[in-house]
Amino acid sequence: MTDKERYKRTFSLLRASQEDFMEVKAMNDNVRILPVRKLAALCAAVVLVVAMATVAYAADVGGIRRAVQIWIHGDQTNAVLDIRGNSYNLSYEDEDGNPRSIGGGGVAIGMFGQERPLTEEEILEELEHPQVEYLEDGTVWVYYHDQKLEITDKFQDGVCYVQLKDGDKVLYLTVEEQGGYIISPHGYEKPTP
């Protein structure tokens, strides 16, 4: 006789009482077993919802925060660029150690009129453009990368033309005495009347 046969023979003699049998049957009636396909679909749905929430947080609420080096007033400066949706904030310390902030925003318009927020690269490119500053003492300054130029005495008929070079890159700056300026890589632009 094998072990399997002995096992069957021994346990075939055991019988559950009617009361025990009814209790086990009632327990089985309360247990619901989910089919494997439904369980897999439920898990996939949960993963999809979590992934979409993560993407939404990163794209909109979480934004992008990055340490950058940027030229500010002719000095290369460590700053923190924080991009949230259609706006950005650039935080840095000035030469005296005081906290400063530059903010802005914008969208790019596609061929078919659809709007999208500017990318991090586009914002950094915009921040790298030459800046013209009109100070309270009446002086006018141009800042471009490591260049600081006072152009107060160079205005003729209310306009000043400045050529800026950075390596092989040349930019032409048309500055109006009363405010406003135009940047072009091709040549000087006429000021707006």
pTM of the model: 0.56
Residues in the chain: 193
Q: Where are the domains of the chain?
A: 3-61, 63-128, 130-193
90, 102 contact by CB (below 8 A): yes
Q: Is 22 a residue whose pLDDT tops 80?
A: no
Would you list the DSSP string of 39-92? HHHHHHHHHHHHHHHHHHIIIIIS-EEEEEEEEETTEEEEEEEEEETTEEEEEE
167-176: average pLDDT: 87
* Percent residues over pLDDT 70 in the chain: 84
For residues 42 and 162, the model is more confident at: 162
Going by their DSSP bridges, the two strands 64-72 and 75-84 should be labelled as antiparallel
Assigned token pair, 17: 């009482």
* 3 state SS of 160: strand
pLDDT digits (tens, 9 = 90+) for 53-62: 666 555 544 5
Separation of alpha carbons 34 and 99, rounded Å: 59
Using an 8 Å Cβ cutoff, are 81 and 120 in contact?
yes
Backbone φ/ψ region at 84: left (φ over 0), alpha (ψ -120 to 50), beta: beta
Q: Which residue type does 41 have?
A: A
C-alpha 26/C-alpha 60 separation (Å) is 52
Q: Which DSSP state fits 164?
A: E
> Residue 150 corresponds to which amino acid?
E
* pLDDT tens digits, 125-163: 888 888 888 888 988 888 888 888 888 888 888 888 988
CA–CA distance, 36 with 121 (Å, rounded to integer): 47
